[in-house]
A and B are shown apart, each in its own frame.
Chain A
Amino acid sequence: MILPFFVIIPLGTAFLISLLGKKIRNSGDILANLSGLSLLTLSLYSIPKVFVHKTLVYKIGGWLPPIGICMVLDGLTSFMLVTVNLVSSLVAVYSISYMEKYTDKNRFYTLFMLMLAGMNGIIVTGDLFNLFVFLEIASIASYALVAFGTEAEELEASFKYAVMGSVASSFVLLGIALLYSYTSTLNMADIALSLSAKPAGMIIGFVAVLFLAGFGLKSALVPFHAWLPDAHPSAPASISAMLSGVLIKVLGVYALMRIFFNVLGINSGILLVFMFLGAVSMLVGVFLAIGQWDFKRLLAYHSISQIGYVILGIGLGTPLGILGGLFHLFNHSIFKSLLFLNSGSVAYSIETRDLKAMGGLREKMPVTANTNLVASMSIAGIPPFNGFWSKLLIILACLQANRFGYAFCAIVASILTLASFMKVQKYAFFGTLNEKWRRIKEVPGAMRLSMAALAIICVAAGLLLIPLLRNFMQAAVDVLLVGKGYAQTVFGAIR
């Protein structure tokens, strides 16, 4: 059974690195990359497993689920695992060279692996309190990683993030407490089963609001987004890529999807709230992004906007909408981490994030410039890059569901995204080279390798829509569409 290894490998690597890091040279690099690679292999291996068995349940310690804790592997789990471990393994490769300019690389890898363990744990667990524990592991590691540079701005951003994040966690814990008092169980499938036997009461509405506030803050939906534009740019670039690329999706969007669709049960009211929040995030994020001159801050505002697309797609509740939302989630994790890695490469060479001070970097840094061009076109939705297909699916799903206003919002946000990335291209990579940067060089090989790999995935990911490969995402969509039937699937898989 492969499921527990998604938590064991990163957790074990974290402790091994902190033990051996000082004694053996380069052990941190080797261990982190080995574990990243093995996690990627395992997550890819989970795809055929899901294809054959549909749902697999691992019982921790052999206790049967309503009493013991269980881990569940189904289509959505496998989809999220592939997304997270693909990005994290490439970011680990990038960090080999990039983290040289910071002093304590081993401590960085330890925190990185702890964050990864938390994220994988959230994805595989089938127990609500266990989800909370992993949520806190990932959050605490990310608070520490945001403050990793220990400069004044980074500490300030980390403090803001930590305070807002712990308030959000308290909301989630309060929601779990209320749900436990109502159903007397913590297993997600068992909660779904016992809720469907009870009449819908006020308490479910209250719990839903608490979860929406808690997980909404973690995923930076618009009324709760204030921490993100400070926290994400302050972290080292490889961590910004992880935070914007996968952390907000796992802690926020995945947890929202799993709990609202499979545990509490979805209804049209909640879907309306999702769609509204998604559309507002989409527009507010992109309007705030367009005036930014700090490269990483601009990207951070775009994360808010793109998460809006994902939530809008999922909130439509139709098969096509959910497919579009999940596909955009995958695509966004690829191109946004690539963009943050590009910004890290630029900062590595010229030590600035101000777009006005750049210019003409294309001739000195061809790999960075070309991969950035690919990622910019993907995020702006130019065919044939992956961002185009997922945005197209979301807009088509809006039209299919007769939500013309939301379709219009999605198109407007897409055009504004294009405008703001044309600004990035013009000021940073095209134009005349600034005299100051006469002597800069392209970044080292490991960084180039991971950026090029991500750019290739950006181009190729559109192929996931062809019928043969589409089963990968269709399995995830089916899990969400089955709704509270999740309980029967899980209990069916135990026997």
Chain B
Amino acid sequence: MIEYILCLLLFCIGLYCVLRRRNIIKIIVGLGIIEYAVNLFFVLLGYRHYGRAPILAKDQTITNMVDPIPQALVLTSIVIGLAVTALIVAIAIRIYEKYGTFDITKIRRLKG
């Protein structure tokens, strides 16, 4: 049970980081933490005690195996996360070129 609570705690740390940090690079790191918390949670869902890899081979009977679907889903989710992070970092670099700062409180030309 404690693993799941720690996972949720990690999620909240990421959320705090996104909401409270002023540096946009730290906000991106916060997004990464949120993403990994969710991925970790997904992997934990498929875990079984003393389970083995779900590979079917001749003359073997598998009694206890881990759930393979969360692992496949997490792989997809990691790739998506990579794409989002790469895009946001690229935008952050262009923002630095335009505004000359990473401070989110100074990057505010849009209002109303």
Residues of A within 8 A of B (CB): 129, 133, 136, 140, 143-144, 147, 150-153, 155-159, 162-163, 166-167, 169-170, 173-174, 177, 180-181, 186, 229-230, 234, 292, 294, 297
Contacts and interface: CB of A to CB of B under 8 A. Distances in A.
Nearest to B107: A156
Contacts of A297: 112
A150 B92 CA distance: 11
Interface residues of B, number: 33
B45 A181 contact: yes
Contact of A167 (B34, B76, B94): B34
A229 B88 contact: no
14 contacts: A129-B76, A143-B84, A143-B87, A152-B95, A152-B99, A153-B110, A159-B92, A166-B35, A166-B84, A167-B18, A167-B31, A170-B38, A173-B38, A177-B38
B80 A162 contact: no
Interface string B28-71: 00010011001001100100000000000000000000000110
Contacts of B109: 152-153, 156
A189 B104 CA distance: 44
Contacts of B38: 170, 173-174, 177
A180 B38 CA distance: 13
A159 B24 contact: yes
Interface of B: 11, 15, 18, 24, 27, 31, 34-35, 38, 41-42, 45, 69-70, 73, 76-77, 80, 83-84, 87-88, 91-92, 94-95, 98-99, 107-110, 112
Nearest to A185: B69
Contacts of A229: 112
Contacts of B112: 229, 292, 294, 297
A167 B28 CA distance: 11
A136 B84 contact: yes
Contact of B41 (A133, A136, A174): A174
Given A158-B91, A167-B31, A167-B34, A140 B84 contact: yes
B77 A166 contact: no
Contacts of B94: 147, 150, 155
Nearest to A164: B18
B54 to A, nearest CB: 14
B36 to A, nearest CB: 10
A170 B95 contact: no
A167 B16 CA distance: 12
Contacts of A158: 91
A170 B27 contact: no
Contacts of B15: 167
Contact of A159 (B18, B34, B77, B88): B88
Nearest to B32: A166
A150 B11 CA distance: 32
Closest 6 CB pairs of A and B: A152-B98, A136-B80, A181-B45, A170-B34, A230-B110, A155-B95
Given A173-B77, A177-B42, 5 more contacts: A129-B76, A140-B80, A140-B83, A147-B91, A152-B99
Contacts of A152: 95, 98-99, 109
B66 to A, nearest CB: 13
A383 B83 CA distance: 47
- Name, among B27, B41, B94, B109, the residue most crowded by chain A CB atoms within 10 Å (CB to CB): B94
Contacts of A173: 38, 42, 77
B35 A133 contact: no
A169 to B, nearest CB: 8
A255 to B, nearest CB: 16
Contacts of A157: 110
A112 to B, nearest CB: 16
A137 B35 CA distance: 16
Most buried by A among B31, B77, B83: B77
Nearest to A133: B76
A174 B80 CA distance: 15
A166 B95 contact: no
Contacts of B108: 156
A129 B73 contact: yes
A235 to B, nearest CB: 13
Nearest to B19: A167
Residue among A151, A173, A294 with most chain B CB within 10 A: A173
A447 B29 CA distance: 42
B91 A180 contact: no
Contacts of A129: 73, 76
A167 B83 CA distance: 14
Nearest to A137: B80
A106 B87 CA distance: 19
A129 B72 CA distance: 11
A144 to B, nearest CB: 6
A180 B35 CA distance: 18
A133 B83 CA distance: 12
Contacts of A155: 91, 94-95, 98
Nearest to B41: A177
A38 B11 CA distance: 44
A98 B83 CA distance: 29
Contacts of B41: 174, 177
Contacts of A162: 84, 87-88, 91
